[in-house]
Structure 1
Amino acid sequence: MTCWKPPTPTPLSSQIPKAGSDNIKERRNPSQLGTDYGAAIYHHKGGTFIENYQAVRSTREIAKSIAYYLEMSDPVNYPPSDRAKTVRAVNDILQGRSDRTVDSLLAELAEKGGSYYAGEIKGVRRDIMDFQYQRLIRDYPYTKSSGKQYKYRMNDANPDRPLKIINQRLFDWAAKAGFPPGFFRESYFDHVTVYCMPEHADCNFSVFQDCTFAVCRISDARLDGTSIYGGEFHSCVIKDTIFFCASLADTHFYDSAIDRVSFQKAYLRRCNVLDCGLYSVNFLNTTLDGCSFGRVESRLIRNLHTATITQGGATEAECRQNRESIYKALRPEPPVQEADRRTPAPER
């Protein structure tokens, strides 16, 4: 089957009004949220919590802020030259990968920052609360639906397959009211932060230009022929999802779980996967061009031996080194030999 490859579209960010300069809504303490915010009440273990999907900062960005305040307050123990090390350690705490708790980290930050950074530390606390809350509701399916249809502007870069234009404001409206049928299919998402998605979402033949998937549940979705340029997935759960013949360029996955996902015949160029879990991932006839996998937990990686692993502009030795590092990180299942495919003879 020949994979459809859409032309690289021209970014429309200068033409489409944005909901906010940073695409992130005003954040509020979850305990202060009310039903006036379009929230629904979930019943969970005898209690209730409010379904309030919103874009939140990634733990990596929060960790950078915390690292900065620690460096300014205690440069001896947190030298700026060790910024990358500090950010990684703080991010591990925020993600629950460390023996140290978030409370102890915040206590140290408050002690060292004192009154000078009190306002900034308060903002960091709010960011952490918002992240933790969004991660909590990420484990539950998005259930809102709507029959409402929107009037879309169209991207006619490919006359044979015009795409609906989705900006942040339109996405926020639809997320609050419920996504109408066909919202994600054959659409052009321009600089959108995607923080919720319905189960079984049909994203076929869509384009995501410079989009961020933030603490988002992507479950049983189809992304056949989909293109993702300059994207980022952080703290996402991606499961039972197919990226058949998809194109991903300069797209990065951080702190995410990728479970029972197929990249069959997909083309990934300059994509990085860092601090993620990959479970039962299929790379049948995938192209990995200049991609890297770091600090990943992997099991049941299938058909990696059929993938084309290359690195544009690199020497043969560099390509071989890249291939070896990917195999070392992913530890794929051994390919099934023809002898293994034979049906065993019945016992006599």
Structure 2
Amino acid sequence: MPERVYLDWNATTPLRPEARAAIAAAWDISGNPSSVHAEGRRARRLVEEARAAVAASVAARPEGVVFSSGGTEANALALTPGLRRGAGLPVQRLLVSAIEHASVLAGGRFAADAIGTIAVARSGLLDLDDLRTKLEGGPAALVSVMLANNETGAVQPVAKAAEIVHAAGGLLHVDAIQALGKISFDINSMKADLVTLSAHKIGGPKGVGAVVLADGVQGLEPLLRGGGQELGRRAGTENVAGISAFGAAARAAMAALEEDAVRLRGLRDRLENGLLQTPEMIVFSGDVRRLPNTTLFTVPGLKAETAVIGFDLDGIAVSSGSACSSGKVQPSHVLAAMGLSHELAQGAVRLSLGWSTSETDIDLTLKTWRKLANTLLRGGRRNTA
């Protein structure tokens, strides 16, 4: 059977060899990391080494890292009423951008009537003027803006957003799950108060994530209460193997980041140059800074489900958008928030690349696309959006 081409890295990534080795090593340790005997101390050492690695990946302090069961739990934990920084007022409401992940749009523990939405431009970037307006005259707010969108790849102006939020007495949460290991950033340069991360987006295992707190942030109330693990911020015996693998994946991803970014940007450009030979081709957020590995495209009249099936039958795994909603028939909420028509939104196909993607993979993908386009589409003009 011919080897398949995997171009859905924004949904999840293969397990890195370093993470696999970390899991295998952790399985040989029998101790509970909360136990004081030698076996427990060995387990604790793995957890704390991983904590340091995850903290280093965003230039934070290790004690600011709270491990969770994944990105969704991390986002739910971060969205806590009452958060404050230093002597600042506790946040009483939540503002989220219209293109956030479903786990952020759900609002965490904020009441529905305490949640507002920030608009985005057609480019897919946050509307900073709307953010200013939404912050005026109300109580202190927690604002949640993702660093990079999982569908379009558009990189958001989070540092500018942070200045606006802090001037209004609020706090900024940055969902950096899709950005980690793809672009350089850190919690300080973003001026973020909380950052959330997930292991399986960088070659770690599924089911492990983290909230990272900036210095001075207080009031993070645990979702799970019990034994007091994670300095009382997340109860439950730590997933030693998963956490250790998260740390290993973080170290590997950060070591390869610059080289991978250059290579993947070249492959993405090769891909898009080929796609844009199709008349009326639209590459979403094509005129703004994006993740180097991400392309979201469509052509008027295209049905995403049909295209995804066609790619799959030809041995190529792609997506119609976020994997968390890929089974739904409604179009992307991200593209709807950008003001795209229902027709265009329901035809969006996402290709996302990773460390093992090759030029051959890109060429095979373009060959399949040309075949699908000849079958499904009629001629027109080239475009970007």
TM-score under structure 1 length normalisation: 0.25
Structure whose residues are more often helix by fraction? 2
Structure whose residues are more often strand by fraction? 1
TM-score under structure 2 length normalisation: 0.23
